[in-house]
Amino acid sequence: MEHTQWRRPVQAAGLDITGPLEAIQFMDHRWPGVKAMSFATAHQSCLAALDGREKPDHARDCFKQAVDEAQLH
């Protein structure tokens, strides 16, 4: 399921993040130094969506919440 895409991308630091794989790559390589609990929740949720343990839309919601909390718009 690594090619799972969201119906609507999430804006993060001027980028359109279109699915859980891109979200994980963004979190691993472009996220600022401070990581809140929402970051950990989003990362875990995106991994779960990639292997089918969670729905992609839930991972999107978690990622969007982490982006909002970190003010990465």
- Residues pairing with 16 in the sheet: 11
Question: What pTM did the predictor assign?
Answer: 0.94
Q: What is the mean pLDDT of residues 26-49?
A: 96
Identity of the amino acid at 8: R
* Mean pLDDT score across all residues of the chain: 95
For CA atoms 18, 21, 26, 31, the dihedral sign is: positive
8 Å CB contact between 10 and 23: yes
Q: What are 42-70's pLDDT values in tens digits?
A: 999 999 999 999 999 999 999 999 999 99
